[in-house]
Structure 1
Amino acid sequence: MKRLLNFFILISLISFTFACNSDEDEDELTKNGPFAISELAGSWDATKAQFSVNATSVDIVQDGGSAEMTVQSSGRFILTLDPVDRDAYTVSGEMIWEKWQGTYYFAIIWDDYPGDWDTYGHTYDGNTLTLNGGSDTGEYDFNNDGNFESCSVHFIFERS
């Protein structure tokens, strides 16, 4: 009987451990955070589209090019980058919030990397959206050789 009681206690402790395991460390992806992602729906023009790695930095807009973004209410977006020294190209993805340990982080799931996302520092006031990414949050072909390099990004968008 004592052996059965010990077995029952062991099973109870294991069950209790799993039942009390908090989901606080789990990532939760959502469309509602400090503001609803749907608020970004519309067209946006960049006043800054900067890509940086080590001591190299390129700002497409400052160099005379452009960057325009169209966002759907679902958070899906298309970003058209048009540098002055090469053909325009597009990238796309989905904007979300990553909730982790009670804090919301602005995030993008890039279509080229489904199931993975990068988080960005951001500000948003209804008409201006800034995004600042750490290392490896963007890619740019710095020497125009057809090979994109991982880099950090800094965008400032104005609602158009």
Structure 2
Amino acid sequence: MKNLTKYVMLITLLFLAVSCSEDEPEIILAKEGGPFEISELIGNWEATQGVFLRISDNLVVDIVADGGSLSLTVQSGDRCTFTVEPFGREAYTVSGEMYWGDYEGNDALIIVWDGSSPDEGSFFPVQGVELTATTFSLGCLSECGEYDFDNNGNFEVADLGFEFVRN
């Protein structure tokens, strides 16, 4: 019986050691180090394209082309607010803070949403992020957003493709 107890304790310790060593890597957030300074985004932006792609069936919705609107406001301190107003529906906002960081080994723009932890944020690989003097493009193919495709109150994971012009 003593040997069985020791054996069970050893297996338990090995299990704990293995499970603890396989934790997700810590997400490092920085305000500098990306292809541009996040502070360059400060101001108001209006979308010319606001595409949400539902992963499960490839349903595409462009709320701007459908008559709705999407805007982005970036404040000092890199706080951001997206205002989403689909045509014929009530507008809603989501807010967070922008950072540069790493996503699956690639540089990314990361938005940590209010009330969320960094690992629950939205990750936009730098290949999908572009800033010019008058435009800002933001896109991902990693289920970085959510949208209520059916207008039933349930948000579903989505890929995003946003094109903004500076107001």
Q: What's the TM-score, normalizing by structure 2? A: 0.74
Alignment size in residue pairs:
136
Distance 1:137 1:111 in 2: 15
For residues 136-151 of structure 1, what are the structure 2 equivalents within 5 Å? 136-151=143-158
Cα deviation, residue 34, structure 1: 1.7
Change (3 A) 1:90 1:122: same
Aligned amino acid, residue 66 of structure 1: S
Equivalent residue number for residue 155 of structure 1: 162
Equivalent residue number for residue 50 of structure 2: 49
Runs of 4+ in 1 over 4 A off after TM superposition: 99-103
SS, match of residue 153 in structure 2? coil
Q: What is the RMSD computed on CA atoms of the aligned residues?
A: 2.0
Task: Check if 1:93 corresponds to 2:96.
Answer: yes
For residues 124-143 of structure 1, what are the structure 2 equivalents within 5 Å? 124-143=131-150
Q: Is the 8 A contact 2:71 2:82 kept in 1?
A: yes
Q: Which runs of 5+ in 2 are unaligned?
A: 1-24
Larger Rg: 1
Q: Is the 8 A contact 1:66 1:83 kept in 2?
A: yes
SS, match of residue 64 in structure 1? coil
Change (3 A) 1:77 1:86: same
SS, match of residue 74 in structure 1? coil
Q: Is the 8 A contact 2:139 2:161 kept in 1?
A: yes
Provide the identity percentage. 46
For residues 1-160 of structure 1, what are the structure 2 equivalents within 5 Å? 27-32=27-32, 33-53=34-54, 54-99=57-102, 104-116=107-119, 117-120=121-124, 121-160=128-167
SS, match of residue 152 in structure 1? strand
Q: Is the 8 A contact 2:123 2:142 kept in 1?
A: no
Aligned amino acid, residue 60 of structure 1: I
Q: Which runs of 5+ in 1 are unaligned?
A: 1-24
